[in-house]
């Protein structure tokens, strides 16, 4: 995680982005993610309903990131004090979703590196 934050900071300084270091978000590799979700957790697939229907991780609920109104409303029903595990297709959308969850007050957000494409 430290390496990722250092790289984000480096690229931010090069390209003028406003990357923010967020202590509540951790990106996990496939093995770490799989181990963590072996127990009952808040597991969320942030892809579209069609993507979700084409295959998803067992026990994941679908909350479409692109539908921001429904996204926020659905996450308001989850426990912000408990860890939430999220993924998308490749990791890009879930990264944005993680940042949104941080702004909504979630304390521990875990994102699957490489997304569902990495899962299979």
Catalytic residue among 88, 98, 109, 112: 88
- Here the tokens at position 88 are 């998308």
Cβ proximity of 65 and 97 under 8 Å: yes
Helix-strand-coil percent breakdown of the chain, rounded to 5?
40, 15, 40
- Here the tokens at position 19 are 């990357």
User: Active site includes 29?
Assistant: no
Can you list the positions of beta strands (E) in 34-97?
42-45, 61-62, 84-87
Catalytic residue list:
88
């Amino acid at each position: 995680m430290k390496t990722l934050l250092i790289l984000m900071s480096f690229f931010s300084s090069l390209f003028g982005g406003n990357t923010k270091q967020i202590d509540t978000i951790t990106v996990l590799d496939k093995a770490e993610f799989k181990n963590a979700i072996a127990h009952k957790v808040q597991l969320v697939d942030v892809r579209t309903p069609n993507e979700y229907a084409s295959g998803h991780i067992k026990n994941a609920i679908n909350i479409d990131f692109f539908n921001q109104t429904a996204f926020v409303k659905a996450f308001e029903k989850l426990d912000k004090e408990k860890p939430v595990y999220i993924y998308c297709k490749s990791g890009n959308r879930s990264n944005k979703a993680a940042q949104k969850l941080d702004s909504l007050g979630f304390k521990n957000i875990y994102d699957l590196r490489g997304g569902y494409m990495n899962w299979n």
